[in-house]
Amino acid sequence: FLPFSSPVLRNFTFAVSWRTEKSLYRLDVDWPKHPEYFTGTTFCVAVDSLNGLVYIGQRGDNIPKILVFTEDGYFLRAWNYTVDTPHGIFAASTLYEQSIWITDVGSGFFGHTVKKYSSFGDLVQVLGTPGKKGTGLNPLQFDNPAELYVEDTGDIYIVDGDGGLNNRLIKLSQDFMILWLHGENGTGPAKFNIPHSVTLDSAGRVWVADRGNKRIQVFDKDTGEWLGAWNNCFTEEGPSSVRFTPDGKYLIVAQLNLSRLSVVAAPPVGSIGECSVISTIQLADQVLPHLLEVDRKTGAVYVAEIGAKQVQKYVPLNSYVPAFGS
């Protein structure tokens, strides 16, 4: 029998040690086909559901920072060009363009930026002042930008940042003009303490994981108006990641240090109400789910785990009929 300190057994424990009260997902133990490509600490994951691609951002010395897999788990390619320290990643593909956006929190020449790349790693656009953190709006500056969400219209929502000078939510137009922002540290409505993840629902609402304040805040995407907050589900630890299922019925929330994923009922249009957890997936201790993404076609949930240093895939037990963005 292998002792627990064996790396073989330890990895096995990370892969299978989870449970749910009401099983809505199953772990795809065969994803990816070749986990040996995880050579660093896996911080973020994005899904290009149009093209069936999964992008993973990892950190470490002398390793490729971005890995590209198929949704079936086959490794395609890796790249490293101008990526310093990835924190968040988002695939914003249309029928005409495959784009990958990365928030970079590095202290080197490419840090404190939000960058757009092609699928093969060609740098297309840089937002922020590379290598210089700041609070400025003209030119726009970031300090540890945590994550972003890009609408099909091209509008961009950025949460900045992960414990730096800024605690703000910024909406940019497709030509990178500031449309609105909330930008103050604090505990009141529309104030933040480590805004760590951002997503949209199909009703035009922006959802922000306000991690340090142990809540999720909700805004109107057009006006930026504060619509409400959820804090009753996160008394133990604040949320680190938020994403909706394709049918819009559930919000998938990660809590990093609890190593827990929660499936939360989405509120109806016109109401925020209270947070209601439908199901949880308890990962093994110290797996540490940092950010996650949901495939808008299949509903599969990909989780970037900085403790286990891997990305895992959870498949819905009931197939979704995609509604969001269709």
- Please provide the distance, in angstroms rounded to a whole number, between the alpha carbons at the two ends of the chain: 51
Q: How many CA atoms lie within 13 A of 136 on its CB side?
A: 12
Residues 197 and 13: their CA atoms lie apart, in Å, by 28
pLDDT (tens digit per residue) in 165-176: 999 999 999 999
- Residue 81's pLDDT is what? 84
- In the prediction, which pLDDT does 19 show? 46
Contact 158, 148 (CB under 8 A): yes
Task: Considering the domain delimited by 25-316, tell me its CATH architecture.
Answer: 6 Propeller (2.120)
User: What pLDDT sits at residue 4?
Assistant: 41
Q: What radius of gyration do the chain's Cα atoms show? A: 18
Beta strand extents in 105-177 (DSSP E only): 113-118, 123-127, 145-150, 156-160, 168-172
The stretches in the chain having pLDDT less than 50 are 1-20, 321-326
Residue 186, Cβ density class (10 Å: 0-12 exposed, 13-18 middle, ≥19 buried): exposed
Is there a contact between 210 and 226 (Cβ–Cβ < 8 Å)? no
Give the per-residue pLDDT at 118: 95
What tens digit of pLDDT does each residue of 282-308 get? 999 999 999 999 999 999 999 999 999
Q: What is the pLDDT of residue 21?
A: 54
pTM (whole model) above 0.95: no
Amino acid 117 reads: Y
- The per-residue pLDDT for 220 is 98
